[in-house]
Amino acid sequence: EVAIQESPNINTTYREYPQPLDRIFKNVEMTSELGSYFFCLGPLLIYMALVVEICKEKEFRLRIGLNVVGVSHSTYMLSWVIVGTTLNLLQTLVTCLSGLL
């Protein structure tokens, strides 16, 4: 007679793959560290875009051409104030809405 042996019982355990310690950015939140820059970058980019557009119009002498057809200098500058205010209000709205999320 052949003796029937029981199959061996194998107990297994597992762990997650070990992650190396992050010694550089330990306990650093990038949002709290660098988030304030985003509040400055929005208005700064709008300001730079407006200055570029006004310089282009000055280069092409659009203001003089508009003066020839009857548009006053104050009306021309008022249009840029309206454009700048509108863009700043939109940027403020986006900033406020991003704070709610």
Domain spans in the chain, listed from the N-terminal domain onward = 39-100
Q: Which residues contact 42 (CB under 8 A, 6 or more apart)?
A: 91, 94, 95
Look up the pTM and report it.
0.63
CB 83 within 8 A of CB 51: no
DSSP letter (8 states) at residue 17: P
Most distant CA pair in the chain, distance: 118
**Tell me: the pLDDT tens digits for 23-73?**
777 777 777 778 888 788 889 999 999 999 999 999 999 999 999 999 999
Reading the block at residue 63, the tokens are 């203001």
Q: Which residues contact 80 (CB under 8 A, 6 or more apart)?
A: 50, 54
Does the pLDDT at position 1 exceed 70?
no
State how far the Cα of 43 lies from the Cα of 95, in Å rounded to an integer.
10
